[in-house]
Structure 1
Amino acid sequence: MITSFYIRSFELSGGVSADTQFHFQMCIEKFGVAMTTGSNWDFRLPTEIHFGWERLSTLSAVLTNLGGRHVFAMIGRSFLNRVGETGLKDLLGPVELTVFTDIEENPSINTVDTAAARCREAGADVIVAIGGGSVLDAAKCVALLQKNDGSIRDYLYQVRKPERRGLPLVAVPTTAGTGSEVTPFAVITDPEKNAKPAISYPETFPDHAIVDPALTISMPTPVAVSTGLDAMTQALEGFWSTRATEMTRAMAFRAITLIYRNLEAACLGKDRDAIEKVTLGSVIGGTQMAMIGNTALHPLSYPLTLDYNLRHGLACAIYVPAFLRYNQPAIDARFSDLLTVLGLRTIEEFAAGFEALMQRLDAPTRLSALGVERAAIPQIVKNGVGRSTAFNPRPLTEETMIEILETML
């Protein structure tokens, strides 16, 4: 099914981990996503996107169209606290319901396997996920395991490959940042290995994404900042990636402009128009990310989330100014129009402006602020190199990455 966009004012302007990158070719072969040079490319996604204010009210109709009779609802606790079980039942309509809320930030293998077993026991025929990126990632894995044997560990480490799609999945994000609702990616934490492996099978695309800006209004400011900066980082990586196509780069361009101009007002002022634009930027950025993935920044973020307990979006964005400066010789020409639209003159001005924005949002901009010492940097780099590192526009070695991180102390 070719992606359907129900997006108001969608005007296109002109990390994943190492394990995630392994599966890109499978997505290309199944969904016609071409990573070609020059002007040849294809673009197709299987997720149907419904965007706009109060679109959550369409959830019951979407479930009816899917033929869902028993819903396994994976729900973020904050959302369930707001609406209550009665409100949730009203949203879902006349269906049997099993609710699962035990999903932590950075969900673990055990959490996914436990939820998958609960879903099988319930006899559910459709899954609804309402929450942040952790909830959506976990739900993709649970859906997959309903039709494929084994633990999610088997798929994270490629012991098994899916034989079929899982249960139908409707993804409803309550944050504006991860883009998980429109991608096949799911990052799961493996506490035993202190690692964050990922899956990226074509079978894990959600069937529907309901993207309602109203759901993001109640985000606590630190969550809004982290998820918004995650969306911004994903769009920047998509814009400078060596895998980018004309279509994905146009989407990344639009996502960057929407988020950069509106993130501060959305997070600190709770401005309705700014919230809509950041939410739109997030889903556009997530859609291009589904095609091409990330570059060096997302793999580098994982050591900071695992070892320094930094929120994912902050762990990605902290690298942006330094990598803008490092990549400058390779991206000057590509960024010319973008800088003009943003009212900036140089990459250095962009890097400084991004850093200033992070400071206004109370986001860390120096590794030393996290407790990172110089002696720890080589291990961060070693643990933060993935296949997507190769898609950075300027070649990277472990030595150059160490040098970049040392400038961030």
Structure 2
Amino acid sequence: MTLSFHRVPRIELGRGASLLAGTILRDLGYRRVLLVTTTGMPERPGAKALLDHLAAAEIEVALFAGTPAEPGETVLEEAVATARRDRVEAVVGLGGGSALDVAKLAAVLAVDSRRIGDLYGIARVGRRGLPTLMIPTTAGSGSEVSQDAVLTDRAAGTKRGVKDPALVPDVALVDPALTDSCSASVTAASGLDALCHAIEAWTNRAANALCDLHAERSIRLVRRHLEAAVLGTSQEARDGMAEAALLAGLAFSPVGTTAVHACGYPLSGMWGLSHGFANALMLPSIVAFNRPAVEAKTERLREIFEADDLTDALRQLLGRVGAPTRLRDAGVERTSIPRMAAIAARDQRHLAANPRVMDPGELERVFLETW
């Protein structure tokens, strides 16, 4: 067995953890920060409390609140321009995976003459940028601890990713209280994204013992807490999902994700599906396809879900949390499948990590099975 595990951030998990930000930044000597977040986020109670806390710690904030759900390069360029204009010393990300990804990339490019196109791929960043502190407001992406960031390329109908240990944040403050106000749809999509991350890491061609520990614990937490979190009535469920997302991020960061993401990217890029729902739609069929290559882990997964038919159990979970269970339910046209399969086939970064080789024909069949 081989094991590759790079740096891990300082992690604080628990209700109220976000309000450690000012003290941590001040103790590290940073007085001027860029806060990257989403439109409307600064008006939410949790964000207001954070801004008040930063002000009390005498931290000057340059606010960039223009991150949409599926950001592209233009948004990143605007965030970088703000960081340079205000000469910030560190970058704080506050939001879901999109805001955190933009924050991580902006921290690199704010002090680098390269452009984002120079960084796409694996291990092309090389040197760390400005210090980063990440505060997730959804329980899903795991971006607060991962070496990954993605942007949407609408023209190409897909997403493009950057993977490099230099992107791993310095600090991750995981405060489940910030997820309490998430809608049922956001909770479901982000929670299913965490489940995909954990399963893809666990069944990954490069999976190792440390990855497996994080991934299996994450899967069990999602199984136990996702549905209650979507209902929005259980603080315990919110806390459990925050831990699940964090652990899934630690699981997939060193080994990457697999064909689920390769197939999910064109669903987001071409049809505008949220990242979490796009991945979750493809998960049941790809888990079934991969089974011959990871028989023991797939059987363990079936036991965790207490299912006779794992594929059916995964689809039923999607339905119970309000996610589409078939591509046609999400408005995807059958005629688009050949193009989506072709886009997925070019994504060798993810396909190389898949436990079973998938050729273009097999990718098309998986899309058809999911349609």
**TM-score where L is the length of structure 2:** 0.93
Q: Which residue of 1 aligns with 2:256?
A: 293
The counterpart of 2:19, out of the listed 51, 57, 67, is 57
Q: Which amino acid aligns with 2:167?
A: T
User: Equivalent residue for 1:208?
Assistant: 171
Q: Give the one of 385, 400, 405 matched to 2:362.
A: 400
Of 80-89 and 355-364, deviating more is 80-89
- Tell me: CA distance 1:395–1:153, structure 2 relative to 1, closer, same or farther (3 Å): closer
Quote how far apart the aligned CAs of 1:184 are: 1.5
Out of 364, 369, 377, the position equivalent to 2:329 is 369
Kindly indicate whether the alpha-carbon contact (under 8 Å) linking 1:390 and 1:396 is maintained by their aligned counterparts in 2: no
Query: Quick one: which of 29, 32, 51 aligns to 1:67?
Result: 29
Q: Secondary structure at the match of 1:287?
A: helix
TM-fit CA distance, 1:84: 8.6
2:109 to 136, 140, 145: 145
- DSSP-derived class of the 1:399 partner: helix
Q: Which residue of 2 aligns with 1:124?
A: 88
Q: Are the aligned partners of 1:266 and 1:278 in contact in 2 as well (CA < 8 Å)?
A: yes
Equivalent residue for 2:282, pick from 319, 323, 329:
319
Within 2, Cα distance between the matches of 1:201 and 1:270? Answer: 38
Number of residue equivalences: 367
Structure 2 CA distance for partners of 1:149 and 1:334, relative to 1, 3 Å? same
Work out whether residues 300 and 316 of structure 1, in 8 Å CA contact, stay in contact via their aligned partners in 2.
yes
SS at match of 1:106: coil
| Deviation at residue 382 of structure 1 after TM alignment | 0.7
**AA aligned opposite 2:221:** L
Note if 1:350 corresponds to 2:310. yes
**What are the residue-to-residue correspondences of 1:94-109 with 2, within 5 Å?**
94-109=58-73
Which of 90, 110, 115 does residue 52 from structure 2 map onto? Answer: 90
Higher mean C-alpha displacement, 330-339 vs 254-263 = 330-339
Whole-Å separation in 2 of the counterparts to 1:190 and 1:208: 29
Tell me the equivalent position of 1:382: 342
Task: Determine the C-alpha separation between the residues in 1 that align with 2:121 and 2:314.
Answer: 36
Q: Return the match for 1:329 from 292, 299, 302.
A: 292
Verify: 1:236 aligned to 2:199, yes or no: yes
TM-score (norm 1): 0.85
Give the ranges of 4+ consecutive aligned residues of structure 1 lying more than 4 Å apart after TM superposition.
none
Q: 1:42, CA displacement in angstroms?
A: 4.5
Give the SS at the match of 1:292. coil
Residue 76 (structure 1) aligned with residue 29 (structure 2): no
Deviation at 1:404, TM superposition (A): 2.0
Are residues 1:175 and 2:138 paired? yes
- Alpha-carbon distance between aligned partners in 1 of 2:329 and 2:303, rounded to the nearest angstrom: 33
Encode CA deviations 1:149-202: one digit per residue, 9 max, x unaligned: 1322332379x9546311111000000001111111111123444442111122
Q: Choose which of 126, 150, 153 in structure 2 pairs with 1:190.
A: 153
Cα displacement (A) at 1:216:
0.6
Structure 2 gaps of 5+ residues are: none
CA contact (8 A) 1:179 1:231 kept: yes
Cα separation, partners in 2 of 1:289 and 1:375, compared to 1, 3 Å: same
CA distance in structure 1 between the partners assigned to 2:327 and 2:316 by the alignment: 16
In structure 2, how many angstroms separate the alpha carbons of the residues matched to 1:157 and 1:395?
20
Correspondence list, 1:154-173, <5 A? 154-156=118-120, 161-162=124-125, 164-173=127-136
- Calculate percent identity across the aligned residue pairs: 32
CA distance in 2, matches of 1:162, 1:107: 20
Contact 1:148 1:162 in 2 (8 A): no
Q: 1:85 to 1:236 in 2, by over 3 A?
A: closer
Q: Which residue of 1 aligns with 2:219?
A: 256
Structure 1 residues 99, 299: closer, same or farther in 2, change over 3 A? same
Distance in 2 (alpha carbons) for counterparts of 1:192 and 1:335? 36
Secondary structure at the counterpart of residue 392 of structure 1: coil
Flag the 1:157–1:340 CA change in 2: closer, same or farther, 3 A. Answer: closer
The 2-side partners of 1:91 and 1:298 are apart by: 37
Partners of 2:240 and 2:82 in 1: how far apart? Answer: 37
2:238 maps to amino acid: I
Q: Tell me what 2:242 maps to.
A: 279
- Structure 1 position 391, deviation (Å): 2.3
State the alpha-carbon separation in 2 of the partners of residues 406 and 194 from structure 1: 18
Change in CA separation of 1:41 and 1:320 when aligned onto 2, cut-off 3 Å: same
Give me the whole-angstrom Cα distance separating, in 2, the residues matched to 1:233 and 1:111.
26
| Displacement of 1:265 | 0.5
1:332: Cα distance to partner?
2.5
Whether the 8 Å CA contact 1:147–1:164 is kept in 2: the answer is: no
Q: CA deviation at 1:74?
A: 1.1
| Whole-angstrom CA distance in 2 between matches of 1:182 and 1:109 | 22
Counterpart amino acid of residue 89 in structure 1: L
Higher relative contact order (CA 8 A, sep 6+): 1
Tell me the CA shift for residue 249 of structure 1. 1.3
Aligned partner of 2:8 in structure 1 is 46
